[in-house]
Amino acid sequence: MPVAHFGVRPDDVRADCAPPKALERWQPELQARAEAGADAAGPLVIDIMDVIGETWDGYGVTGRRIGALLRNAGDRDVVVNINSPGGDVFEGLAVYNMLRGHKGDVTVRVVGLAASAASVIAMAGDRIEIARAGFLMIHNTWVFAVGDRHDLGTVAGQLGAFDDVMAELYAVRSGIDAAEISQMMDRATWISGRAAIDQGFADDLLSADVIAVNIEARAEAPRVKNLARIDAAMARGGLPRSERRNLIKEMTSTPRAADDDMPSAVGSMAALMGSVTSFLGEKET
């Protein structure tokens, strides 16, 4: 697989939120089972189990974090476990290039979902395995942008170049013509585990015993996904990450023992929605 050559990230766009449909179908409790007997001599395991790009709480999968792990790996082989709804395509392409530039072999295992930017990262594997119930989702570059028709026209033209880069990566991996891949991206195509193998996007199915369900992550999943939706809604309104982080932290802060829980929660939500409404009102004037 080639290294992805792409241009400068467009100005005044935000791509740090996962697409809503991918977020809805994401099951964060699906993880790779820890391998018994794993040691420093074996492959380095990298888990990509979050939104691509830095999230409102400072987590998420970023090129900086993956780069640090790969530097520590040296020449060791790498196993990359993926269950992600996607997110920032620019971070996804950067991570793809880092994995392609790694000296050791890279095996990608899609244990749940590799959507959007996460599907780009998945293409970096020398070998790609996918769960029978797993999915890839490929689509055009997805961002939030604010501006007049001239600004948005410029952004649309810039994003077309990134779409071409991604289409080429999928085409080289699968053997499908890039023009057909572009049509699949236009309609946001979901590709099941078996179909991914049949179409050349993956090499084999993962054994069921490789996948585990994290009970704690399952319990937290509704909260995690709801906060991600709130973050995406605020990003769509143009709020920068720092403001989104502060508002969500306020909304989710634990009340003091002397406080009444319900008024605190209602007040935080009112403040959040008031800030978003006020900001959108300023944009419209």
For residues 226-233, give the mean pLDDT: 85
- pLDDT tens digits for 163-190? 999 999 999 999 999 999 999 999 999 9
**Pick from 201-205, 237-241, 244-248, 265-269: least confident:** 265-269
- pLDDT tens digits for 7-18? 556 666 666 678
Residues of the chain with pLDDT > 90: what percent? 55
Mean pLDDT of the chain: 85
Looking at the predicted structure, is the pLDDT value of residue 135 above 70? yes
The CATH topology of domain 13-213 is 2-enoyl-CoA Hydratase; Chain A, domain 1 (3.90.226)
Confidence of residue 263 (pLDDT cuts 50, 70, 90): very low
Looking at the predicted structure, is the pLDDT value of residue 277 above 50? no
For residues 30-48, give the mean pLDDT: 80
Residues in the chain: 285
Kindly report the pTM of this predicted structure.
0.83
Better pLDDT: 95 or 162? 95
- pLDDT tens digits for 70-115? 999 999 999 999 999 999 999 999 999 999 999 999 999 999 999 9
Q: What are the domain boundaries of the chain?
A: 13-213, 217-284
Looking at the predicted structure, is the pLDDT value of residue 279 above 80? no
**Whole-number pLDDT of residue 256:** 53
Position of tokens 């199915």? 205
